[in-house]
Amino acid sequence: MKRLVILSIFALSTVFASSAFAGGYGAAGCGLGNQLFKGKNDKLSQILGATTNHATLNQSFGITTGTLDCDATGLVVASRETEIYAQKNFDSIVKEMAAGNGEHLSTLASLMGYEPARLASFGKDHFSKIITSENTSATDMLLAIRLGLGNT
């Protein structure tokens, strides 16, 4: 049994080696695991921290939002995620914006940090200022929304 535990710990430590010392943290990296084992740099604490991060999938969230003691540069990732979502769902978002509601529009609002009702109302009321022509791109749309509603 002891041998199995040791092998498991070794296996986990090699799986999580990619996050080693990321952002000045221990081998566990940032996230809930870092919070639970903060200040403990022994191997067991780092392995448990990395296991916690992996099991709860919170490290990606922390990096994206700049929380859980993760670097706030993850906000750039969130911005890129918004752009990708807008590009992939552009036609649906435009239709829903014209109607003043819809699932894709609500998701876009959430990604941009706006209340869905606020974006829906703004989009419907200012549709011609946001979608200026049939050549309007998703990037143009996002810029018009941010200029109209302000950055959050």
As a whole number, mean pLDDT of residues 13-24 equals: 43
For residue 1, name the pLDDT band (cuts at 50, 70, 90).
Answer: low
Burial class (CB in 10 A: 0-12, 13-18, 19+), 91: exposed
For residue 5, name the pLDDT band (cuts at 50, 70, 90).
Answer: low
> Which of 11, 15, 37 is CA-nearest to residue 26?
37
Q: Where are the domains of the chain?
A: 2-65, 74-149
Q: List pLDDT tens digits, range 63-104.
A: 666 666 666 554 545 567 888 899 999 999 999 999 999 999
Encoded tokens for 88: 């992939």
Burial class (CB in 10 A: 0-12, 13-18, 19+), 111: middle
